Structure 1
């Protein structure tokens, strides 16, 4: 692998520029084929949390999908998920139902962690991921 492939790329899709400007973090970082996606939360375009775990999970997975696309990858390239839940035991079943819509097969490794709070009041889940661009191609 050449050193050109090992250059660090900051991935900030236009719709996420406000996070980069205000909070100083990109949506993803890519080095070679490896992509680390920052935690995605269940908020809409107005930064309002979705209503309930299912809506928040869909919003977070959509954010993950957009960050991966901006980095040149897809959900099929995800090799690891780490999820943070403020109501882990109560939300696990519903969250898994949504997760399976985005990962119907070739499941990535997954760690779910119960926590006391997330960055905004009302948030119930945050999803971060590691992907390897191109590894999900059949």
Structure 2
């Protein structure tokens, strides 16, 4: 078994330093991503739900790309939402633009809130790393 390996896109190096976490961690053939929310790396979250959803997916894409992977490698996704019913259709549309068959497993969970005020969505993703 190989040692776990951190995946840290250069734009996310400060997240690792400040929060003491890896944006992604490769272990046992899978890439486990930290939860990424609708708040951009710089600045506050947009009040627009569609923008926040896209921001979260863009952060996931950044970590996947750093590991040489893409959305097609995702095998499991959990989305956490404040006001799930208010933006579920927006979320489903944003997800459908990025994911294809076979679709990853997906669980959507309503939550009371996040650490950053105004955030309405966070994504937790696991991707499969192809064998060398």
Q: TM-score, normalised by structure 2?
A: 0.92
Question: What's the secondary structure of 2:21's corresponding residue?
Answer: coil
Counterparts of 2:53 and 2:124, CA distance in 1: 12
* Per-residue Cα deviation, 1:73-121 (whole angstroms, up to 9, x for no partner): 1110000000000111111111111111111432110000000001201
Across the two proteins, how many residue pairs are aligned to each other? 131
Alpha-carbon distance, 1:47 to partner: 3.1
Verify the 8 A CA contact 2:72 2:100 in the aligned structure 1: no
Structure 1 runs of 4+ off > 2 angstroms? none
* 1:45-124 alignment runs, 5 A limit: 45-124=41-120
* Per-residue Cα deviation, 1:5-34 (whole angstroms, up to 9, x for no partner): x21001111111111111111101001421
Decide which of 21, 24, 39 is 2:17's aligned counterpart: 21
Unaligned runs of 5+ in 2: none
Unaligned runs of 5+ in 1: none
> Superposition RMSD on alpha carbons, in Å?
1.5
Q: TM-score, normalised by structure 1?
A: 0.88
